Amino acid sequence: MAIIISDDDVRKHLTMAECIEAMDVCFGDFAKGKAKTLPRLRYRVEAPNDPEREYFANVHIGAVPSYGMACVRAGSNMLAKSSAPGRKTTSSPDSANWTVIILYDLNNAEPVAFMHESQLSGIRVGATTGVAVDKVARQDVSELGLFGTGRQARANCEAICTARPCIKRVKVYSPTRRNREAFPNEVPLPGVEIIPVKSPEEVLAGVDIVCSMTNSTTPTFDGNMLKPGQMVISVANSDVTLKRHEVDETTFVRSSDIIINDWDSVVSNRQTELLDLIESGDVQRERVVELGELCTGKTTVKQTEDNIVYYKNNTGLGMQFAAAGSVIYNKMKGEESNKIVPREWLAAEDYP
C-alpha cells in the first residue's frame, strides 16, 4: 500500500542536514552513472475557461538506487497572465498547490507514497545549494548577502548556514519593505544575526557569499560590484517557457568557475543566459562544471580570497525528490497514523 506524505510530514521528518546529505549522495551517484534523471519538462497552455490565467506543467523524473527509490514529480500550477514585469507569478484560483510527487520502490515498481510538494521543493533546492557551499566555500566565511524573502530564500539561507555554521550575519534585501523586515522572524537561526537592508549595494558590501533567490527575470545586482573572494549563488533560470536573467553577464564573465547541477538541462531547457555567452566566447565551456563532479572528487573548485566562484543552481531534477522522499518515507512507513491508499486501488491488470 502507498502512504500520503503531507507538507507537515516533510517538516517533521526531514531536517536540512539530512536533505543536504541526500543531495550529496544523489548528485555523486549521478556523476558516476548510477543514479538516473532526465531534464525537467515544462510547458504552458491556455486555460479555456479562465482568461486571467494559463496552465503550467513542470515534470521531473529520476531514480537513485542508493535509496532504492524512483520518482515522478507531476507539477501542476496556474500562472497569472498579468504578472508584474520581470516576474513569474503562480496564481491558483483556490490557493492550493496540486503538484503530486509519486515515489516508486525500485525493487518491485510499486508506488509507495504520494507526496505534497510545497515544503519538499523548497528544502531540496536549498539542500542542493548546501552541497555546493560545503564543497566550494571557504571554511572561514562569516557573512551572507541574500536577495529575496520567499520560500527559496528561507530554505537557501538555512542550508547555507547549515553547511557553514561559521556564518554569523545575514543581510537580506527585498524591494518590498515589509517582506525584508519580516524575514528575520521567519528564519530562526540561533546565533545568526539577520539584518534587513535597503539596497542591493548594501547586500553585496563585505559579504563572503552572495545568494539571489528571487522570481525575477532581470538581474538583481550589478556584477561589477562583486569583489574577489566572493561566492555567488542563484536559482532563477531560463527554460522553454520563459527567459530569465537573475544574474547579469558580468557575473558570468568574471567568475573563474561556474558550477551547475546538470549540463543536459542547460541545453534542453535552452538556458540562453549561459549558452549565449559560451557561443560568443565570453565564457569558456571548460569553466563550467557539474555539481556531481565535486561530490565524487573528480573535480575540485574552491572559493579563495582572489577569485569569484558562481554556483548556478540551474535546474530541479527528479532524483532529488527520490532521494529526499526516501528519507521521509523510511521514517514514516511503520507509523500507524499514516493515511494510506490501498494497493488494490492502484494495481492495474498486468500486461498480457
Residue range 72-80: average pLDDT? 94
Amino acid occupying residue 57: A
pLDDT of 189 strictly over 90 = yes
Considering the domain boundaries, does residue 321 fall inside one?
Answer: yes
pLDDT recorded at residue 49: 93
Whether residue 185 is found in the same domain as residue 238: yes
Q: Are 71 and 104 in contact (CB under 8 A)?
A: yes
Amino acid occupying residue 277: L
Considering the domain boundaries, does residue 351 fall inside one?
Answer: no
Side-chain half-sphere exposure of 265, counting CA atoms within 13 A? 24
Whether residue 101 is found in the same domain as residue 142: no
* CATH code at position 252: 3.40.50.720
pLDDT recorded at residue 140: 97
Question: Could you report the per-residue pLDDT of 141-155, keeping only the tens digit for each?
Answer: 999 999 999 999 999
Strand partners, 102: 72, 114
**What is the tally of structural domains in the chain?**
2
CA distance 170 to 233: 14
- What are the residue ranges of helices labelled H in the chain? 7-13, 16-31, 118-136, 151-163, 177-186, 200-204, 249-254, 263-268, 272-280, 291-296, 318-332, 343-346
Whether residue 307 is found in the same domain as residue 217: yes
* CATH code at position 53: 3.30.1780.10
Whether residue 140 is found in the same domain as residue 168: yes
Considering the domain boundaries, does residue 190 fall inside one?
Answer: yes
**Structural domain containing residue 233:** 129-312
Question: Could you report the per-residue pLDDT of 91-137, keeping only the tens digit for each?
Answer: 777 888 999 999 999 999 999 999 999 999 999 999 999 999 999 99
pTM above 0.85, yes or no: yes
Residue percentage of the chain with pLDDT more than 70: 98
Whether residue 266 is found in the same domain as residue 323: no
Considering the domain boundaries, does residue 277 fall inside one?
Answer: yes
- The SS3 call for residue 343 is helix
Whether residue 91 is found in the same domain as residue 160: no
pLDDT recorded at residue 22: 98
DSSP states of 73-107: EEEEEEEETTPPTTB--B--TTS----EEEEEETT
